[in-house]
């Protein structure tokens, strides 16, 4: 049945006839919407909500460390600490690389809390980035992520898996939307949408009183608000690009009707807001979650007989571009706010970078596509595993809600309402007690990706907490340099790691862990 659906939906598109120019054109059409969609919300995110945006903040501290107004002596200490932890983080990433010869190898798959906990994604993955994120994020955010991991992977998913064969077919894999993965994705989406819907209430957007701000923050706020990007410019740009998209995208993908695009663009600004808000809390972009939602809705709407597979995959790309560029721009605005940079300059720079990506990325893809005839084929060197995952996902999505497991929609409604209720209680009890109530958006992240992120960031919180207890003045002065070095060093390592992968240099060792019984079986097999 799946093969027949795929054939019906893909026969009308010959990818070999899709030129590089069409791909570049598609990206130019869809990649700028996210930038225009969140420009009117930058004051709300940066000034009113005071969201952290850890990567943007780390970049700002890296820049400010060379221009600190607090004196040469402190500046030298900050730069020294930043350089020390930057080097450590970079070298730690390099060291870990040697043990990652295959998937699920290395320190990132270290069962530090036991093999059973590892199976339920409770482990420390030795990520310097997220230890640094834990040091910068408020304690309540990190506790919320940990609580979400305990509720989902510690309680809910094991209980649902015990109902395998009743709630969903027992022969389904862990990544199937008709199985346990359906609960993971849709419950996470429910909490994100419920929290985002409540947060987007205009009555909650109350700016901080000037008296509550330090002199530096007052100055930053003044410059940030002085250099305004006109709202009508952002709205007009969004509407213009949306109109162009509705006229041109159906010419590239005939299965993608103009009214599908219209519906996507009506709801996209809200989803871009939710993703930018969640990224500001935890530094984790959930763009992949929103594109799964687009795949399912548009694929089911179009149906298998009317090109639902291609329509779903095309809208997946559209949604991914909108929500991911929105969170990236807000990260840049946070950096600009902390470094007293012009928001105009940040916006223009993001447009230039996005335009470059619209040309460079397709050219790189086309290079691989022409150089490797087996690109995307199972067993090939570049087998593009996520392409297979998303194709199989849309094959399920075209069947509509009937493809979801039993009680999945009921749990979706329950957690959507719970997210709104938690926020309502948090506001009703006031700041004194509300600061102890977890945030649903942060709780939702481990529902989908696992609890290892919570272990990392909570370790970062613990380090900062102990440091403040021992020497609060030193912690306040040097902690920004430490977490900036941890985040930036680990991030920079991805560049040489990518180059090594492109030239075919593979790590020499695969470090995996086995239970005592499995290890005995492996030893017996190797000895035979």
- 7, pLDDT greater than 50: no
- 299, pLDDT greater than 70: yes
For 170-179, 337-346, 421-430, which range has the lowest pLDDT when averaged over its residues? 170-179
- 208, pLDDT greater than 50: no
pLDDT in tens, 439-456: 999 999 899 888 898 999
Residue 172 vs residues 165, 178, 185, 291, 405: alpha-carbon distances, Å = 10, 8, 16, 22, 11
Say what the pLDDT of residue 69 is.
55
Pick the residue with more confidence: 66 or 251?
A: 251
Say what the pLDDT of residue 190 is.
92
Say what the pLDDT of residue 8 is.
41
Say what the pLDDT of residue 459 is.
94
Say what the pLDDT of residue 222 is.
86
Q: What 3-state class would DSSP assign to 511?
A: coil
pLDDT in tens, 418-429: 999 999 999 899
- 411, pLDDT greater than 90: yes
Say what the pLDDT of residue 85 is.
94
- 386, pLDDT greater than 60: yes
Q: If pLDDT is split at 50, 70 and 90, which confidence band does 407 have?
A: very high
Say what the pLDDT of residue 261 is.
92
Question: Is residue 81 within 8 Å of 485, Cβ to Cβ?
Answer: yes
CA 241-242-248 angle, to 5 degrees, is: 85
Pick the residue with more confidence: 484 or 203?
A: 484
Say what the pLDDT of residue 128 is.
93
Average pLDDT over residues 158-180: 88
Average pLDDT over residues 290-314: 86
Percent of the chain beyond pLDDT 90? 32
As beta bridge partners, residue 392 has none
Say what the pLDDT of residue 70 is.
53
Question: Please, what's the b/e burial string for 98-114 (b: 16 or more CB within 10 A of its CB; e: otherwise)?
Answer: ebbeeeebbbbbbbeee
Percent of the chain beyond pLDDT 70? 91
Pick the residue with more confidence: 391 or 114?
A: 114
Say what the pLDDT of residue 17 is.
55
- 375, pLDDT greater than 80: no
- 40, pLDDT greater than 70: yes
Question: Is residue 329 within 8 Å of 38, Cβ to Cβ?
Answer: yes
pLDDT in tens, 476-505: 888 988 998 999 899 889 889 888 887 888
- 14, pLDDT greater than 60: no
Pick the residue with more confidence: 200 or 312?
A: 312
Q: If pLDDT is split at 50, 70 and 90, which confidence band does 72 have?
A: low
Q: Which region, left, alpha or beta, applies to residue 121 given φ > 0 means left and ψ of -120 to 50 means alpha?
A: left
**Taking all residues of the chain, what is their mean pLDDT, rounded to a whole number?**
85
Spatial distance between the Cα atoms of 497 and 316, rounded to a whole number of angstroms: 28
For 1-5, 135-139, 171-175, which range has the lowest pLDDT when averaged over its residues? 1-5
Residue 334 vs residues 51, 52, 134, 306, 323: alpha-carbon distances, Å = 9, 8, 18, 44, 17
Say what the pLDDT of residue 6 is.
41
Q: Residue 206 CB: number of other CB atoms within 10 A?
A: 7
Say what the pLDDT of residue 365 is.
84
pLDDT in tens, 112-165: 888 889 988 899 999 999 999 999 888 999 999 999 999 999 999 999 999 999
pLDDT in tens, 464-480: 999 999 999 999 888 98
- 12, pLDDT greater than 50: no
Q: Residue 134 CB: number of other CB atoms within 10 A?
A: 30
Say what the pLDDT of residue 359 is.
92
pLDDT in tens, 179-200: 898 899 889 989 988 998 887 6
Say what the pLDDT of residue 206 is.
43
Say what the pLDDT of residue 15 is.
54
Say what the pLDDT of residue 172 is.
85
Say what the pLDDT of residue 211 is.
46
In 88-186 the beta strands, taken as DSSP E runs, fall at none
């Amino acid at each position: 049945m799946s093969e027949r659906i795929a054939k019906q939906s893909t026969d009308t598109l010959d990818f070999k006839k899709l030129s590089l120019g069409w791909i570049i054109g598609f990206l130019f059409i869809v990649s700028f919407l996210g930038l225009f969609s969140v420009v009117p919300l930058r004051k709300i995110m940066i000034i009113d909500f005071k969201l952290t945006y850890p990567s943007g903040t780390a970049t700002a501290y890296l820049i400010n460390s060379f221009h600190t107004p607090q004196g040469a002596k402190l500046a030298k200490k900050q730069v020294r600490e930043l350089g020390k932890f930057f080097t450590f983080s970079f070298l730690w990433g390099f060291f870990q690389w040697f043990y990652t010869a295959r998937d699920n190898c290395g320190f990132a798959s270290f069962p530090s809390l036991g093999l059973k906990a590892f199976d339920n994604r409770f482990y420390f993955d030795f990520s310097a980035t997220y230890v640094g994120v834990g040091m910068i994020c408020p304690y309540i955010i990190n506790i919320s992520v940990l609580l979400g991991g305990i509720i989902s992977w510690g309680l809910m998913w094991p209980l649902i898996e015990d109902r395998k064969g009743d709630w969903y077919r027992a022969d389904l894999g862990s990544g199937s939307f008709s199985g346990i993965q359906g609960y993971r994705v849709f419950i996470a989406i429910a909490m994100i949408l419920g929290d985002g819907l409540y947060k987007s209430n205009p009555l909650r957007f109350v700016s901080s009183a000037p008296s509550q701000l330090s002199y530096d923050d007052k100055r930053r706020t003044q410059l940030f608000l002085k250099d305004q990007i006109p709202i009508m410019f952002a709205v007009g740009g969004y509407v213009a690009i949306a109109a162009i998209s509705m006229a041109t995208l159906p010419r590239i993908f005939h299965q993608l009707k103009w009214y599908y695009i219209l519906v996507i663009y009506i709801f996209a600004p809200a989803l871009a807001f939710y993703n930018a808000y969640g990224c500001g809390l935890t530094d984790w972009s959930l763009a992949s979650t929103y594109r799964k939602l687009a795949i399912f809705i548009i694929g089911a709407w179009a149906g298998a007989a009317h090109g639902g597979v291609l329509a779903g995959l095309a809208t997946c790309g559209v949604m991914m571009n909108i929500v991911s560029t929105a969170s990236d721009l807000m990260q840049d605005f946070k950096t600009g706010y902390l470094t007293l940079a012009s928001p105009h300059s940040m916006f223009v720079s993001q447009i230039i970078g996005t335009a470059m990506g619209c040309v460079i990325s397709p050219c790189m893809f086309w290079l691989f596509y022409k150089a490797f005839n087996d690109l995307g084929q199972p067993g090939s060197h570049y087998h593009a595993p996520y392409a297979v995952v998303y194709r199989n996902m849309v094959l399920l999505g075209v069947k509509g809600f009937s493809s979801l497991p039993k009680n999945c929609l009921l749990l979706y409604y329950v957690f959507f309402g719970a997210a709104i209720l938690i926020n309502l209680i948090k506001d009703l009890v006031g700041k004194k007690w509300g600061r102890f109530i977890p945030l649903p958006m942060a709780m939702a992240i481990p529902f989908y990706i696992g609890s290892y992120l919570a272990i990392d960031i909570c370790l970062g919180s613990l380090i900062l907490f102990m440091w403040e207890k021992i020497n609060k003045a030193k912690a306040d002065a040097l902690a920004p340099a430490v977490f900036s070095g941890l985040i930036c060093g680990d991030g920079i390592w991805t560049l040489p790691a990518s180059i090594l992968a492109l030239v075919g240099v593979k790590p020499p060792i695969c470090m995996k862990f086995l239970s005592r019984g499995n290890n005995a079986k492996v030893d017996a097999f190797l000895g035979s």
